[in-house]
Amino acid sequence: METIVELFTGFLDSGKTTLIREALHSPDFLDYNQTLLIVCEEGDEEYDEAWLKKNGIIKYVVDEEEKINEFFLEGLELNYRPDHVMIEWNGTWDVNRLLEMKLPPGWGIGAVLSTVDAQTAEMYLLNMRNLFLAPLLSSDLVIVNRTMEHTDRAKIRRSIKVMNPRAQIVFEDESGEPIETTEEDLPFDLKAPVIEIDEIDYGIWYLDAMEHPEHYKNKKLKFLAQVYRGRKLGSGLLCRGVL
């Protein structure tokens, strides 16, 4: 049996607990027989203990980083036999320690999801940049919540992308609804004679091109790409493509 591990990272009060609660109430949760919730940081938001118990979810609180090691995880596996593990990681702990740790047989990290509070992000980037970005370095998905009209989304996106180019970044407003990407959010200039796409911004460009092809109609773009030449083509001949 394969045990899916979902790791949630981010600073205290950035919305990790809220995200986990939403995940527990999603239809996908019905696919699991036994969920183990390891909580390494408790903030203002709390879990409904009665609801967890009613739904057979085992909550295990860990208050010291040193307690989490290979033997500890093996003990949890032997005691509970979960097929689903959710870890709410402490934002000040070294997440690489867990990612590099030997997990129990059958356990595999399926996703690393991170949360950022947009209302404090710029302050953290200015005063404690490395500590703030550390929990996001291995993230597959970064959710920037509580975004307001004055939030500098482009700055936050660039700061995360420079450190973790593969991360998908989603902005949500104060009600938790996703915010659609605008021209102002894009990390390149659509009005430039030649739109230059850096490697770390390729994913952003690709998604925007799929959703808004009109942004690039009759425009010149410059980006690093691979070109395939079929064996039947003669030397010096390349396929031409049109964006």
What's the rounded mean pLDDT across residues 98-112? 95
Number of neighbouring beta carbons within 10 Å of residue 108: 10
The pLDDT tens digits of the residues spanning 138-165 come to 999 999 999 998 999 888 988 898 888 8
C-alpha to C-alpha distances, 122 to 127, 136, 165, 167, 178, nearest whole angstrom: 9, 15, 19, 19, 20
**Is residue 96 within 8 Å of 138, Cβ to Cβ?**
yes
- The DSSP symbol for 96 reads H
> Is residue 229 pLDDT above 60, yes or no?
no
Number of separate helices (H) and strands (E) present in the chain: 8, 9
- The DSSP symbol for 12 reads T
What's the rounded mean pLDDT across residues 181-200? 78
pLDDT, residue 210, reads: 80
- The DSSP symbol for 105 reads T
Confidence of residue 239 (pLDDT cuts 50, 70, 90): low
Position 19: which residue type? Answer: L
pLDDT, residue 128, reads: 92
Confidence of residue 178 (pLDDT cuts 50, 70, 90): confident
Position 28: which residue type? Answer: D
Report the distance separating Cα 229 and Cα 237, nearest Å. Answer: 8
Position 72: which residue type? Answer: F
Report the distance separating Cα 85 and Cα 32, nearest Å. Answer: 10
* Residue 172 β-bridge partners: 178
Torsions phi, psi of 43, nearest 5? -110, -150
Report the distance separating Cα 163 and Cα 135, nearest Å. Answer: 11
> Is residue 241 pLDDT above 60, yes or no?
no
Confidence of residue 242 (pLDDT cuts 50, 70, 90): very low
C-alpha to C-alpha distances, 63 to 66, 67, 89, 200, nearest whole angstrom: 9, 8, 10, 36
What's the rounded mean pLDDT across residues 208-234? 77
